[in-house]
Amino acid sequence: MKINLKVWRQANTQSKGDFKDYTVNEVSEDMSFLEMFDVLNEELVRKGEEPVAFDHDCREGICGMCSMYINGRAHGPEQGTTTCQLHMRHFKDGETVVVEPWRAQAFPVLKDLVVDRSAFDRIIQSGGFISVNTGNAVDANSLPVPKHNAELSFDAAACIGCGACVAACKNASAMLFVSAKVSQLALLPQGQPERYNRVQAMVHQMDLEGFGNCTNTGACEAECPKEISISNIARMNRDFMVAKIAE
């Protein structure tokens, strides 16, 4: 199959970018979207042109690096799927596909489709530490965790920090990401000592990074490749209010 691409090209953060048209021939429907880009870049290199820069690492839907905005949707048209797990069989022969980087003030474009998501790292770092007992490993049954809480914590911990929630939100809000990181600890006994200090610190850092306010439209949940629930946002807001009242 043949795929026509309109790809955002931008040399660096300071330069002005624009779309470039490319055609990739002999695309197998079994290729992943990133493999199709590998083919494109091989052709560009053979022609002596600059290959398209894009983020990738594990290519197994785990690391969250494959951040592409495809035909107006974060990670493309498939629900609960990262870009690296998106296959070309979901596109038609001769189709034109528009590919852009994440669009957010807090995610400046470094080059082409690569954005700087270190703001997420700083938010996590602001959460501080978790109090643990030193010495021998604690018996597994000494800190019982209700099954429901354990499942909710695991669900929140599934967040891979890709930034699709930010890209999908019209205000470029990071509330889903931050609330997932807050919730995975807030639901466990080990996260209780710093629970309310943590939520205040992480929300404060989120605001400092320039992310927008939550829109309550649910676009973040709809586009999240790990389908993180917006109920985590409600939990984070409750904890934040409790922390403010307790001050």
Structure confidence at residue 128 (pLDDT)? 84
Do residues 37 and 9 lie in contact, with contact meaning Cβ atoms separated by under 8 Å? Answer: no
Q: Which segments in the chain show pLDDT lower than 50? A: none
CA distance readout (Å), 208 to 127, 174, 180, 202: 14, 12, 19, 10
Q: Please state, in angstroms and as integers, the Cα–Cα distance from residue 89 to each residue in 1, 50, 174, following that order.
A: 10, 27, 31
Nearest to 77 by CA among 60, 89, 63: 89
Cβ atoms 211, 119 nearer than 8 A = yes
Q: What is the reported pLDDT for 141?
A: 74
pLDDT of 42 reads 98
The pLDDT score that the predictor gives to residue 135 is 72
CATH number of 117-246, picked from 3.30.365.10, 3.40.50.300, 1.10.1060.10, 2.40.50.140: 1.10.1060.10
CATH 3.10.20.30-classified regions of the chain: 3-100
Return the pLDDT at 246.
86
Cα separation values, 146 from 6, 141, 153, 189, 209, Å: 50, 11, 11, 10, 35
Dist. CA 49–CA 22, nearest whole Å: 12
Instruction: Determine the Cα–Cα distance for residues 126 and 41; give it in Å rounded to an integer.
Output: 38
pTM over 0.85: yes
| Token pair 């290959």: residue | 51
Domain with CATH 1.10.1060.10 in the chain: 117-246
| Amino acid letter, residue 110 | L
The confidence score (pLDDT) of residue 178 equals: 98
Beta-carbon count within 10 A of 4 CB: 13
The pLDDT, as a whole number, for residue 204 is 97
Q: Which fold has domain 3-100?
A: Ubiquitin-like (UB roll) (3.10.20)
| E strands in the chain | 3-9, 18-24, 69-70, 73-74, 96-100, 109-111, 114-115
Residue-wise pLDDT tens digits, 141-162: 777 889 999 999 999 999 999 9
d(CA 225, CA 50): 30
Q: What is the pLDDT of residues 180-228, one digit of tens each?
A: 999 999 999 889 999 999 999 999 999 999 999 999 999 999 999 999 9
